[in-house]
Amino acid sequence: MMTTETVNVQDEKKSAFLGSISSAFQGAETYATLRKSAWDTLSKFAIPGTKTEAWKYTRVGKVINHSWMKSHGNSQINLPEIAIGGLRYVFVDGLFRADLSDELTYPGLNIRRTGENAENNLLGTLSNHQGDWFEALNAAFFNDGLVIEVDKNAQIDRPVHLVFFTSEENTASFSRNVLSLQESSSLHVFTHYIGSEHSTFSSVVTEAFVGKNAALKIDKIQEGNETAFHHVDWTKQDRDSRFDITTVTLKSSWVRNDLNIRVAGENCHSSLTGAYLPSGKEHVDNHTMVDHMVPNCESDEKYKGIVRENATAVFNGKVFVRPDAQKTNAFQQNANIVLDDTATMFSKPELEIYADDVKCSHGSTTGQFDEEAVFYLRARGIGEVMARKLLVEAFLADVITTLSDERLQTYCTEKIQQLMHS
Amino acid sequence: MLHIKDLHANIDGTEILKGLSLDIKPGEIHAIMGPNGSGKSTLASVLAGNEDYEITGGSVTFGDKDLLDLSTEDRAREGLFLAFQYPVEIPGVSNINFLRTAVNEIRQYKGEEPMSAGDFLKLVKERSALVELDGKLANRSVNEGFSGGEKKRNEVFQMAMLEPKLAILDETDSGLDIDALKIVAQGVNAMRSPERSFVVITHYQRLLDYIVPDFVHVLYKGKIVKSGSKELALELEARGYDWIKEEVSA
Ligand SMILES: Nc1ncnc2c1ncn2[C@@H]1O[C@H](COP(=O)(O)OP(=O)(O)O)[C@@H](O)[C@H]1O
Ligand SMILES: [Mg+2]
């Protein structure tokens, strides 16, 4: 898909931005072909703006009108402790920190940094660096990340716990991961994106390949303060596989998530859930795409948000059912509570169905708090604040409970309550 | 226990309660009957503190408190309970969690320690048995997917859990078959005590065979227009409301 349009070269803003980024992030020698193709995209197309359909509701000034630096890679940080017994790998401002991480070895896994054995993996084979300007930006400048391969038949009993911490003022970080599950293997990945109170930009692209009969679960929690998050997940599913992903955006000044799933083998199950609760001037944009390429698959999508104060949230969920994809079962739901007149929700579910024997449904609701329910709870002696708390928890519960570990669920529920009452 | 004096209330600028007075002493059961639209549910909502209604005159005291000064939750914590005519469904909030929160917020208000999980579950078991409410329903979301009868029994179950001083039952019998009605009545009767009072709003005399009232009042056009003993209910059942309407307009 080409969504950006060609403009003349003297786009000063663009050259200023790319100029400063490339002087900060020069010197990456690996993945030359990918980077060249990404550069072509960056130079050929304009920075996405209102006229770019996929970026229509998301202003990119927060990222573009900023002069970003590369981190020195040695900041002292206080890692938040979410102990889930995982294999923890930590990146600070985009760079791997062996001092904060577990060993890159585990039975059934082959884990290495993207720079090692570079030309021998699937990196860049799925992403849209030729069509999407921001994906190209990541492809051109990424300088670290992990390639995680799961052996055939390996059921990995510990979750992989990735932490992407953005810390230093005015730093950008560009990371790139590959998850590759061989036949009949399974893996749970928990990715925690954390931003300090400084202005930072975190761009992470993850390409996942779920082999035959394999199962991948990804739990994503995003919490920044002044961080701008651009996170892209591409997943390709082979036959009889299962892919589940939960994205919880707790806080961040600017978030753009792109989640794209190519269902390329029959008899697959894909589930995508998300929760967001922007407040203040925050902006959260979730773009999802499920591409049903073959018959007999099902996808189940549910995104829920609470938007308040001057915040804006965007949900754009595309489901393609290609002509061959008969007997597809695709379900999509987006439900929102908009608490203030000054808050904005753009919800755009899109179903494009080219097969005739399918079951597809989508729904989008945007409403207010159920005041009758608040009254009912209060009439039983529950204080108003607690009543609203229970209802917020209830509204988001069917998303939060899809997080694969109860400790993550508790973590999010507590954070949500704190955020709703701050 | 409850003194309502010359109460006036509006909704959206329309006066619904037009000078209503009622006195309830501890241990009494009062039945309120009256044609549809006469203001029975309005009275219940106003007493429970529904802010959609504007109080334009009169007073209500509950125990030694000015009821109209209290928030909805504080009225409940002081011991007022309303079994809703139309209980709302609250998806995602479990009946049990919600009740535990309610019980403990009420206890905290009274300066008591939270109830232990064990004691709470024991109480749930005992009180849900009173209305023959399946234990499974207690674990479901509040009223979600409950049948009409289950919703009404759930209201009485909550009443039994919260042990109020005054319970207002708004058409808790409507839409119930005779077996369900007996169960509801049995729950209410089990909770009767010399300190606890009930206001039973109903259309049908039938319920009053099982919950025997001390007084029966007729509410019409926003006022109590007639009060009597339980025989009044039988008379209303036999003669309908037209004679009352005539008496009022005469
Ligand atoms: N929002 C409203 N605006 C105006 N009138 C209302 C509103 N809601 C209810 N009413 C009126 O209030 C009157 C009393 O209703 P209600 O208390 O429910 O009666 P009952 O419970 O005795 O059947 C009815 O005539 C009804 O039409
Ligand atoms: Mg009524």
* Dist. CA B146 → ligand 1 center (Å): 26
Residue of A nearest to B164 (CA): A380
**Same domain membership, residue A156 and residue A36:** yes
- Amino acid symbol at B92: G
Does any domain span residue A132?
yes
Q: Where are the alpha helices (DSSP H) in A133-210?
A: 133-141
Does any domain span residue A348?
no
Domain holding B237, by residue range, is 2-249
* Dist. CA A390 → ligand 1 center (Å): 30
pLDDT number for residue A9: 42
**Same domain membership, residue A245 and residue A99:** yes
Is A381 close to B109, i.e. CB distance below 8 A? yes
Does any domain span residue A317?
no
* Dist. CA B40 → ligand 2 center (Å): 5
**Cβ atoms of B70 and B49 closer than 8 Å:** yes
What residues of B are in contact with residue A379 (Cβ under 8 Å)?
48-49, 72-73, 75-76, 81-82, 84
Is A394 close to B77, i.e. CB distance below 8 A? no
CA dihedral defined by A243, A249, A254, A258, rounded to 10 degrees? 10
Ligand 1 site, CB within 6 A = B 11-12, 14, 16, 34, 36-42
Domain count, chain B: 1
**Cβ atoms of A308 and A339 closer than 8 Å:** yes
**Same domain membership, residue A231 and residue A100:** yes
- Amino acid symbol at A193: Y
Q: Identify the domain boundary among A265, A292, A320.
A: A265
**Tokens 């109903």 appear where?**
B202
Does any domain span residue A169?
yes
Domain count, chain A: 2
Q: How far is A340 from chain B (nearest CA, A)?
A: 20
Closest CA to A244 of A271, A275, A205: A271
CA distance A282 to A250: 11
Question: Between the CA of residue B191 and those of A237, B27, B119, B163, what are the distances in Å?
Answer: 60, 11, 19, 8
Dihedral class, residue A101 (left if φ above 0, else alpha if ψ from -120 to 50, else beta): beta
Is A378 close to B106, i.e. CB distance below 8 A? no
Q: What are the backbone angles phi and psi of residue A30, rounded to the nearest 5°?
A: -75, 165
Q: Strand locations in chain B, DSSP E?
A: 2-11, 14-24, 29-33, 53-62, 65-66, 80-83, 90-94, 141-142, 166-170, 197-201, 215-220, 223-228
Which of the residues in chain A have pLDDT under 70?
A: 1-10, 27, 422
- CA A307, A311, A315 angle in degrees (round to 5)? 60
Q: Identify the domain boundary among A238, A265, A292.
A: A265
Domain holding A392, by residue range, is 370-422
DSSP per-residue letters across A33-76: HHHHHHHHHHHHBPPP-TTSGGGTT---HHHHTS--B---S---
Is A375 close to B105, i.e. CB distance below 8 A? no
| CATH number of domain containing B62 | 3.40.50.300
Residue A383 touches chain B, beta carbons under 8 Å: yes
Q: Are strands B29-33 and A200-210 parallel, antiparallel or unpaired?
A: unpaired
Q: How far is B141 from chain A (nearest CA, A)?
A: 9
What residues of A are in contact with residue B101 (Cβ under 8 Å)?
382, 386, 390
Is A395 close to B92, i.e. CB distance below 8 A? yes
Q: How many alpha carbons fall within 13 Å on the CB side of residue B8?
A: 8
Which atom number of ligand 1 is nearest to the Cα of residue B44? 17
**Cβ atoms of A133 and A41 closer than 8 Å:** yes
Rounded to two decimals, the ipTM of the complex is 0.96
Which residues contact residue A376 at a Cβ distance below 8 angstroms, ignoring those fewer than 6 apart? B84, B87, B88, B90, B142
**Tokens 């059961």 appear where?**
B29
Does any domain span residue A130?
yes
Does any domain span residue A305?
no
* Dist. CA B218 → ligand 2 center (Å): 13
Which atom number of ligand 1 is nearest to the Cα of residue B39? 17
CA distance A394 to A124: 40
3-class state of residue A308 by DSSP:
coil
How close are the terminal C-alpha atoms of chain A, in Å? 41
Q: Identify the domain boundary among A216, A248, A265.
A: A265
Nearest CA to ligand 1 atom 13: B37
- Helices and strands in chain A, H and E counts: 7, 20
Name which of B88, B92, B158 is nearest A394 (Cβ-Cβ): B92
What residues of A are in contact with residue B90 (Cβ under 8 Å)?
370, 373, 376-377, 391, 394
Is B90 close to A382, i.e. CB distance below 8 A? no
**Same domain membership, residue A379 and residue A261:** no
Q: What are the backbone angles phi and psi of residue A170, rounded to the nearest 5°?
A: 65, 20
CA distance B250 to A125: 89
Q: What are the backbone angles phi and psi of residue A345, rounded to the nearest 5°?
A: -125, 125
Does any domain span residue A48?
yes
Which of the residues in chain B have pLDDT under 70?
A: none
Q: For ligand 1, pick from B7, B12, B16, B40 the residue to mutate: most ligand atoms within 8 Å of CB.
A: B16
Q: Which tokens go with A411?
A: 């973590």
Strand order in the sheet with A242-251: A95-96, A87-92, A160-166, A186-195, A215-223, A242-251, A269-276, A298-307, A329-338, A359-367
Is B92 close to A393, i.e. CB distance below 8 A? yes
The model scores a pTM over 0.90: no
Does any domain span residue A201?
yes
Q: Which tokens go with A403?
A: 């997080």
CA distance A368 to A364: 14
